[in-house]
Structure 1
Amino acid sequence: MTTKALIIPAAGAGSRMQKNTPKPFLQLGNRTILEQTIRRFLPLDGLQQVLVATSSSFLGKAENILEEVLPPQIKGSSLVGGETRQESIYNALQDIAGSDLVIVHDAVRPFVKLHHIQHCCETAEQYGGAVLGVPAKDTIKRIDDQQEIKETPSRKFLWQTQTPQVFQKDLLLRAYKQAIEDDFVGTDDASLVERLGETVKMVKGDRSNFKITYPLDLELAELLINKDR
């Protein structure tokens, strides 16, 4: 069985949510968003470790959630995240021992489906890397610094990237080390692997796996949670 470790970056502030509490620790239903998210991964075969990177002031809260949620066979640990998401994930990578695949998933995507997680893992095992996403539904414009439209790319080849993003551990670690050496900061983990010339496959998910970023997102999430009760 392929062994897996899950990294959840959860150090972001709640400024766009207009809350003092970081988004992963807001309540959604009768649990925090972070707990709702972690529970989505518990049935995954081969999951042996869950790491949550968060701010120092919420380290204890994250640890308590992991202790409450994880079964004995899955090791849980929380760690202080870095100044950027990329630093947080690199710090977490140092604490992974023995897993074949590393799964990176946003703390505030609590509606990801198990079969999509499984598909990403199977694809990454075969090709090296896999990212969950959906085709772009809106027309995208490329503009210049004067707000002048310069191009309308074909939507045929445009996808909105989600998480999880899954990679063979050695490949992801190599990508991060190269990014540090080159002083490169990417917008996601896949971008670090892509610049090595390695294969990253897109896996089709669905739009229910949205990221809770703004108050309206939280309202929608509360409706979905209540519907599932």
Structure 2
Amino acid sequence: MEKQQLALIIPAAGKGERLGGEVPKPYIKIAGKTVLEHTLSRFREVSGLGEVIVSTSQEYVGLTEDILNNVFPGLKCSVVEGGAERQDSIRNALEQISDKTGLIAVHDAVRPFVKKEEIENCIEEASRSGGAVLAIPARDTIKIARPSLEVEETPDRKKLWQAQTPQIFWAALLREAYQYAKEHKILGSDDSSLVERTGGKVVLVEGSSENFKITHPHDLNVARYLITQGVV
């Protein structure tokens, strides 16, 4: 199968209130580098990567440009201002992607441990199917609850997967999904949910628990340990 040019979008405009600090999560430093830089570095050797777009808040535009130039010298990179919601930030980034791009990957700025082979497996599946999402099987029993917290249902755990990123799609399919969401005022929980709304096919690609998202202080402590000890 012929390789298509890949564009990478990284939404990095979050404020990181759950960590309780003033510095947004992507810009917290671990071992002398920001979390964003650690994350971007995971894509440096990915075959077919043609451009990278990061959406961020206005005060971090300059720093983000410096990070991109350091991680991807010579590659087409750009920084756009983020929006009120993650979805708005990605939409702003989509407007910057060139027409040469065949596939678009969206990856969380604070998932710095995704493996190159996981990214490439996801690319291969997206090339075949139109959409692919890294995910891991649910380990715990999941409960669906009413507003009163009374248990309403216990779904079959064998059917449940925890979605991760990257989430990779044919460029036309993702653009169509975002246009549809804008016209119908839909706010999705992730990019896959928007593509699903338009009838697009999305296939899960099994990832690993190491590809976790830095959300809470405990996650940050684990990330610091893994990076400083060179574990991953």
Fold conserved between structures, TM > 0.5: yes
Residue 64 in 1 paired to residue 86 in 2?
A: no
**What are the superposed Cα offsets for residues 126-162 of structure 1, whole Å, 9 maximum, x if unpaired?**
0000000100001100010111001000110000000
Q: Please state whether the residue corresponding to 1:161 is helix, strand or coil.
A: strand
Quick one: which of 38, 52, 55 aligns to 1:53?
A: 55
Look up the equivalent residue of 2:87 and give its one-letter code.
Q
Deviation of 1:106 after TM superposition, in Å, equals 0.1
CA distance in 2, matches of 1:104, 1:28: 23
What is the letter of the counterpart of residue 108 of structure 2?
Answer: D
Task: Report matched runs for 1:172-183 at 5 Å.
Answer: 172-183=174-185
**How many percent identity over aligned positions?**
49
Give the corresponding residue for 1:124: 126
Q: For residue 113 of structure 2, what is the aligned residue in structure 1? A: 111
TM-score, scaled to structure 1: 0.98
Q: CA RMSD in A?
A: 0.8
Residue-by-residue CA offset, 1:164-212 (whole Å, 9 max, x unaligned): 0000000000000001011111000000000111110000000000000
Quote the residue 2:171 is aligned against.
169
Q: Which amino acid aligns with 1:92?
A: A
Given the alignment of the two structures, is residue 221 of structure 1 paired with residue 228 of structure 2, yes or no? no
> Displacement of 1:67 after TM fit?
1.2
Q: Any runs of at least 4 consecutive aligned residues in structure 1 with deviations exceeding 4 A, and if so which?
A: none
1:6 paired residue number: 8
Q: Which residue of 2 aligns with 1:82?
A: 83
Partner of 2:96: 95
1:2 deviation in Å? Answer: 1.4
For structure 2, the 5+ residue unaligned runs are none
Count of residues paired in the alignment:
228
| Alpha-carbon distance between aligned partners in 1 of 2:40 and 2:191, rounded to the nearest angstrom | 19
Give the Cα separation in 2 of the matches to 1:35 and 1:83: 23
State the one-letter code of the partner of 1:87: D
Structure 1 residues without counterparts, runs of 5 or longer: none
